[in-house]
Chains A and B, each alone.
Chain A
Amino acid sequence: AQSVTQLDSQVPVFEEAPVELRCNYSSSVSVYLFWYVQYPNQGLQLLLKYLSGSTLVKGINGFEAEFNKSQTSFHLRKPSVHISDTAEYFCAVSGGSNYKLTFGKGTLLTVNP
């Protein structure tokens, strides 16, 4: 079975500050990892994904994430956030013979002026 833990349920930051949203996963097999963003009352949009290759993955809106196999982590980062980045962010994992995309419980990022 696979699982995802997002270590912070809420992260408040000031505009133009850097941010890191933490995600750890557990799986007995190799995995694919995803970060999705959800703006209020909307569906989810893919930010980035790790399938293989370089462990540093760049996504949309200036976000990037680093896959760390030894620490089973896939933390999301942005060097300078904007008010418009206020949203909920979900980490998800897919692995093994299980087709399932397993989601974390989400991290609410609030960017304050």
Chain B
Amino acid sequence: DGGITQSPKYLFRKEGQNVTLSCEQNLNHDAMYWYRQDPGQGLRLIYYSQIVNDFQKGDIAEGYSVSREKKESFPLTVTSAQKNPTAFYLCASSIDRIDRANEQFFGPGTRLTVL
């Protein structure tokens, strides 16, 4: 089955620790995205990547970092600089970024809780 996988499903972190969320896709999509979802706030874009070894900041990139070393993988690191990291994180992909009509496909999400 083609799709997007995110791991882990639930993640607990102590304050001051960095943590990395995994996102893998086997859809052969060029573009990948990370969103943060908070209750009643919709989805906000953290980072996106159009091709391997390229990524751009979204609306709320502060305190986050990403890498795109492989087409299939787009891990997100939540650093200790992120003031309020507790949230639901969603990874998505689309065939490419340029075509605005492209549907984005979403993974199942990772719920991060800072203790």
Which of B12-20, B60-68, B72-80, B94-102 forms contacts with chain A?
A: B94-102
> A45 is contacted by which of B40, B106, B109 (Cβ under 8 Å)?
B106
Grouping DSSP codes into helix (H, G, I), strand (E, B) and loop, the B interface class, with mixed when no group exceeds half, is loop
**Does residue B43 face the partner (Cβ distance < 8 Å to A)?**
yes
Q: How far is the CB of A106 from chain B (nearest CB, A)?
A: 6
Which of A12-20, A65-73, A76-84, A97-105 forms contacts with chain B?
A: A97-105
User: Which residues from B are CB-within-8-Å of A96?
Assistant: 100
Q: How far is the CB of A26 from chain B (nearest CB, A)?
A: 15
In the complex, which range does the number of interface residues on chain B fall in?
20 to 34
**Does residue B54 face the partner (Cβ distance < 8 Å to A)?**
no
User: Which residues from B are CB-within-8-Å of A101?
Assistant: 45, 104
* Most chain B Cβ neighbours within 10 Å, of A34, A44, A46, A105: A44
Q: In the bound complex, what is the Cα–Cα distance between A43 and B3 (angstroms)?
A: 12
User: Which residues from B are CB-within-8-Å of A49?
Assistant: 101, 103
User: Which residues from A are CB-within-8-Å of B101?
Assistant: 32, 49, 51, 94
Chain B residue nearest in CB terms to A101? B104
Q: Is there contact, CB below 8 Å, between A100 and B109?
A: no
Q: Is there contact, CB below 8 Å, between B40 and A9?
A: yes
Q: Is there contact, CB below 8 Å, between B100 and A94?
A: yes
Given contacts A104-B42, A105-B42, A106-B42, contact A43 B98 (CB under 8 A): no
- In addition to A99-B97, A101-B45, 12 A-B residue pairs with Cβ atoms within 8 Å of each other are A43-B90, A43-B108, A44-B43, A44-B106, A46-B103, A46-B104, A90-B43, A99-B48, A99-B98, A103-B42, A103-B43, A106-B40
